[in-house]
Structure 1
Amino acid sequence: MSVLRDDDILFSHVSENRSAAAVTGAFWSALSTLIPTVLTFAVFVVTSRVLQPQDFGLVALAFSIVSFAGSFGPTAFGEAIIQKAEIRRSHLDTIFLLSLAFSFLIYGALCIAASPIAAYVGHEQITPLIYIMGLKVFFDFTAVVPNAIVNRKMSFHLVAVRTVIATITSACICLVLVLAGFGLWGLAIAQIAATAASCGAAFWGAGWRPGLHLKRASLNELLHYGFFASGTRFLQTMSLDNLLIGVLLSPSALGIYNFSKRLFDMINNVIAGGLTSVTHVLLSSLRADPKKVREAFLMATFGCALVSYPVFIGLAAVADDAITTIFGAHWIAAVWPVRFYCVIGLMAGIGYVQASLIKSQGEMDWWFYYQLARNLLTLLTIAILYPYGVTTIVFAIMIEVLLFWPITSWKVSQHIELSIPAYLAQFLRPTMASAGMVAVIFLLHELLIHWSPYPRLAVEILAGGMAYCGLIFVLCRARLNVLIGSIKQARQRKSNRGAVANPA
């Protein structure tokens, strides 16, 4: 029996049948975002009808405080584990113990600071919320390494199982507590239950147990990428926008802002979530072959645009009926913020794929500085415009996204060696099909203006979806054939491998 040393290589990147693994991974990743998002959306609808913007705002404020504290941890070192060509046991153990130490340190700081923070923002309910929701830091940090192992092995079916388990646990607890009258406490406890379940499932899926193989050299090998990845994660998770709005405006205003942003996030997770983890691993493994990198990136971008454009443009078109009908009339103030986030959504999904390309090519530092500039401008926008309300703030953020998006497009065009006009041309046909869809929706809205909201909304969505699918089939038939052909080839290769492995 061989003994595994701390310097033995445990994991190398997948080097064979990467296309098949990517296609299969995209399916499982989409499943791991679709099912949880459907459940989350159902819970979101129920809780939105029961609770008020004030309740959502208080939970969002406490969550943003916890997220800000947690963003100082080394959680993004998991991305460094994914990106590195070869990983040893000492890499895994060193990062795990580093993350665990940070989790105790940050949770302790949160508990000490909870009461002063609550007094400063003027809401005493924040104190126990921070105590409860602060536990999220521990579970998030301890899951860094097992999550990285699962993603590195492209075992996306395990990611799907983990996510579904966490979501079902959270949904059941949240609905039971909220309907039993526990109000915002149901939202807080459900988030911790989801994180704990996800952490346990990550260890089970990774099949790895931490040890004590600590090496400074192993940390140094991951330090450059991990530092900038953690900096980028810090910018993404610090939630200073929520903190500023909650403090400068009110919990109710934060509730409207968080409602709009959360709806946007749920939709974007379904669209881009299935591609993000897959494209990062796939593009990292293809670094040595620029042609394959370009092909994989363009295919992922086209697939993302194909889905994101009709969803976000369609939601913007029906937002006035959809928000008040589904979530309740007390969310009427969120209609225009939701529409502005829909415009952001047109670039956000594609932006995730762009980020995967840039980071996979070793330019995490560039991506960090880009995100830093974006976040500083967002915070400055909120600080200047908060007297004008949430709608004005979200509109300004939308303009900011539109102005920054060409920068990433230029960076991407350099990596894939394709001109910017040629890169942007692939979005023209989905845009044209979406415009036709909106025309159908507006026409039906005028014709059915005397109908009640529920059947009118259903007819608009159904007819708009059919119009988009028909136009896409006509405008993008050749590209769709290529995409379908790639999926069939991947399935055929997988079938052939099965036949070889199990001969009659």
Structure 2
Amino acid sequence: MTTSTRTIEVDWQDGRGLAAAASVGGMTSAAASWVRFVIQMSSMVVIARTIGPDQYGSAATLLVAVTGAEVIRSGGVTWLIAHDTELSAAAASTLHSISRLAGAMIGALWCLVAALPLASALPGGGAGALAMAVVFLTAGSGAVPTAVLGRNLRFGAIGAAEVAAAVVSCTGAVALAAAGGGALALLLQATSYALTLRLAVALLCPWRPGPRLPLRALRRELAFAGNASLTQTLEWIARSLDRVFVALVFGQASAGFYVQASQLVLLPLEQVSGPMRRVAVPVLARLRSDPDRFRHTFTAILRLACGALWPVFAVLGVVSTPLIDLVFGHAWIGTVPVFLAMLPAAFALVVATVTVFLALADGAAGRQARWELWISRPLTVVAFLAFSTAGFQAMVLAVSAATVLVTVPGFLVIARSTPVRARDLCSAVWFPAVLALACAVTAAAARHVLPIGSRQLVLVVGAAAIVWCAGMTAMPTTRHLARRAFRRRLR
């Protein structure tokens, strides 16, 4: 299938060689995602050093809106396309119309905001609100084509689009920050990323919408998409509106530290969870009739996610003070205690994120949404509000503890209708936990021996990286995927 061959069909990949294709696709997607991460992280460092915590914190409202667009771009409709193995072409066209309408409606609201006096409180004023309208319009129109690419395991195309968008947006944002644009640099980055990504997906995806089904014929599918979207909306509220609250209660500088610490947690998580979700949900959905393979595949996915991320978080905890001082500058040193308070939640979020994969693949989006709506998110909000009077640091630590507290119960609730059991959770996480501890001990020992400077910090991180690489190589899941990918390449 090439971009010159247009089709209204949503399935081009047959069932043969699915596991091998998923392995290669997952690795391709992960590689592209990490390239994008390096580009965006480098841009974030330059912009943060250039504009400082105050202006970075003042952009909290903008950052909230940008992450809100992800509820459309990669929300319930796209999860449905990955989950439903019997989805028809007409159903996909209807979902595309719904997604475009959602993006257009929110975009229209932003246009209305641009015309109101309150727009002056936003970064960029009315122009900033219009830029957010563009972000939502492109998110709505590009969600289903991107999801169809993922459904057919075209992860290389998705990765190429995201890398191209990252290069264009980060280059422009850094240039504007250097020219004194301040928080507007983040505005330009968000808008140019959305536009470039949408254009690239349009060029790379051969799917085009065709005849549509009436909404009444999609009640079951829309219920699943609605529950999945509710889950992601609650997650967005928990991860985003807190930034506005911090800015209002503790000041813009504290908001800047809070946003930066959150990004140190969420950026690595997103680089792993994004590619994994694209592969895991459609593959697990097709394995629902084979309980043993379903359970083993999910365990392998969770083990890989924890093995990739837990050592990273552990080492960041050890070197956070010299790393932030060196990379972002001494003005950002207030990020360190915030990040350390978030660290327990970082470990728990890896498990919670993969648990969402399990819910989507098993069709349990409703149960996931009810857990989030009635248990998980209310507990987080209570911790946030109750401890805000005790100070900024106490509030962050309380929210982190609440996240850890609900992770295992949430897993047990979601997994109860699947072949996955608590023992599978234990078998998946014990090796990554040992590996994270080994990496942290290595980094701590190297830091104790070496006086911290730029070169010494590289050696400390490098020593921990060697231990991590050795551990990941020793993990049977990694070796199995590498052998499968190699055999596929030979064919």
TM superposition score normalised by structure 1 = 0.87
Q: Work out the CA distance in 2 between the residues paired with 1:240 and 1:375.
A: 13
Q: Work out the CA distance in 1 between the residues paired with 2:122 and 2:484.
A: 58
When the two chains are superposed, the root-mean-square deviation of aligned CA atoms in Å is 2.7
Q: Work out the CA distance in 1 between the residues paired with 2:84 and 2:12.
A: 9
Offset of 1:161 from its aligned partner? 1.0
- Identity among equivalent pairs (%): 19
Offset of 1:485 from its aligned partner? 3.2
Aligned partner of 2:225 in structure 1 is 226
Aligned partner of 1:248 in structure 2 is 249
Q: Work out the CA distance in 1 between the residues paired with 2:463 and 2:188.
A: 40
Offset of 1:376 from its aligned partner? 2.7
Aligned partner of 2:487 in structure 1 is 492
Aligned partner of 1:111 in structure 2 is 111
Q: Work out the CA distance in 2 between the residues paired with 1:84 and 1:232.
A: 18
Tell me, what secondary structure is at the counterpart of 1:308? helix
Amino acid at match of 2:187: A
Offset of 1:134 from its aligned partner? 3.0
Tell me, what secondary structure is at the counterpart of 2:334? helix
Offset of 1:490 from its aligned partner? 4.4
Q: What are the superposed Cα offsets for residues 149-201 of structure 1, whole Å, 9 maximum, x if unpaired? A: 11111111111111111111111111121112222112101211101111122
Amino acid at match of 1:429: F
Identify the match of residue 437 of structure 1 among 424, 436, 439.
Answer: 439
Offset of 1:452 from its aligned partner? 4.7
Tell me, what secondary structure is at the counterpart of 1:11? coil
Q: What are the superposed Cα offsets for residues 409-463 of structure 1, whole Å, 9 maximum, x if unpaired? A: 3246535545524531442233233323323332333333xx3521231221122
Aligned partner of 1:5 in structure 2 is none
Matches within 5 A, 1:81-480: 81-113=81-113, 115=116, 117=118, 127-211=126-210, 213-238=212-237, 239-372=240-373, 373-411=375-413, 414=416, 417=419, 419-421=421-423, 423-448=425-450, 451-470=451-470, 472=471, 477=474, 480=475
Q: What are the superposed Cα offsets for residues 263-284 of structure 1, whole Å, 9 maximum, x if unpaired? A: 2111112333331211111111
After the TM superposition, which of the residue ranges 358-367 and 242-251 deviates more from structure 2? 242-251
Tell me, what secondary structure is at the counterpart of 1:15? coil
Q: Work out the CA distance in 2 between the residues paired with 1:69 and 1:154.
A: 24
Q: Contact 1:79/1:226 (CA < 8 Å) preserved in 2?
A: yes
Q: What are the superposed Cα offsets for residues 359-416 of structure 1, whole Å, 9 maximum, x if unpaired? A: 1001001111222232233233333333444322221121011101111332465355
After the TM superposition, which of the residue ranges 64-73 and 74-83 deviates more from structure 2? 64-73
Q: Work out the CA distance in 2 between the residues paired with 1:116 and 1:375.
A: 33
Offset of 1:27 from its aligned partner? 0.8
Q: Contact 1:13/1:85 (CA < 8 Å) preserved in 2?
A: no
Q: Contact 2:380/2:403 (CA < 8 Å) preserved in 1?
A: no
Q: Contact 2:72/2:103 (CA < 8 Å) preserved in 1?
A: no
After the TM superposition, which of the residue ranges 255-264 and 422-431 deviates more from structure 2? 422-431
Offset of 1:79 from its aligned partner? 1.5
Q: Contact 2:119/2:129 (CA < 8 Å) preserved in 1?
A: no
Tell me, what secondary structure is at the counterpart of 1:134? helix
Cα distance change, pair 377–455 in 1 and its aligned pair in 2 (3 A): same
Amino acid at match of 1:319: S
- Identify unmatched segments of 5+ residues in structure 1: 1-7, 497-504
Offset of 1:30 from its aligned partner? 0.4
Offset of 1:293 from its aligned partner? 0.7
Q: Work out the CA distance in 2 between the residues paired with 1:346 and 1:328.
A: 26
Offset of 1:486 from its aligned partner? 4.1
Q: Work out the CA distance in 2 between the residues paired with 1:105 and 1:416.
A: 37
Q: Contact 1:170/1:193 (CA < 8 Å) preserved in 2?
A: yes
Offset of 1:352 from its aligned partner? 2.2
Aligned partner of 1:4 in structure 2 is none
- Identify unmatched segments of 5+ residues in structure 2: 1-7
Amino acid at match of 2:392: V
Q: What are the superposed Cα offsets for residues 29-62 of structure 1, whole Å, 9 maximum, x if unpaired? A: 1022100000001101111110111211222212
Q: What are the superposed Cα offsets for residues 201-248 of structure 1, whole Å, 9 maximum, x if unpaired? A: 222222123346352344434211111112112213343222322333
Q: Work out the CA distance in 2 between the residues paired with 1:19 and 1:286.
A: 10
Amino acid at match of 1:231: L
Q: Work out the CA distance in 1 between the residues paired with 2:33 and 2:151.
A: 18
Cα distance change, pair 187–422 in 1 and its aligned pair in 2 (3 A): closer
Q: Contact 2:246/2:254 (CA < 8 Å) preserved in 1?
A: yes
Cα distance change, pair 453–414 in 1 and its aligned pair in 2 (3 A): same
Q: Contact 1:280/1:357 (CA < 8 Å) preserved in 2?
A: yes
Q: Contact 1:438/1:464 (CA < 8 Å) preserved in 2?
A: yes
Offset of 1:315 from its aligned partner? 0.4
Q: Work out the CA distance in 2 between the residues paired with 1:40 and 1:200.
A: 19
Cα distance change, pair 254–180 in 1 and its aligned pair in 2 (3 A): same
Cα distance change, pair 205–86 in 1 and its aligned pair in 2 (3 A): farther
Q: Work out the CA distance in 1 between the residues paired with 2:122 and 2:93.
A: 41
Q: Work out the CA distance in 2 between the residues paired with 1:113 and 1:300.
A: 43
Offset of 1:249 from its aligned partner? 3.1
Amino acid at match of 1:200: L
Q: Work out the CA distance in 1 between the residues paired with 2:156 and 2:324.
A: 34
Q: What are the superposed Cα offsets for residues 113-157 of structure 1, whole Å, 9 maximum, x if unpaired? A: 3545457xx668555422322321101111121011111111111
Q: Contact 1:61/1:246 (CA < 8 Å) preserved in 2?
A: no
Q: Work out the CA distance in 1 between the residues paired with 2:478 and 2:177.
A: 44
Q: Work out the CA distance in 2 between the residues paired with 1:354 and 1:224.
A: 20
Q: Contact 2:108/2:133 (CA < 8 Å) preserved in 1?
A: no
Aligned partner of 2:51 in structure 1 is 51
Cα distance change, pair 398–153 in 1 and its aligned pair in 2 (3 A): same
Max radius of gyration: which structure? 1
Q: Work out the CA distance in 2 between the residues paired with 1:126 and 1:64.
A: 16
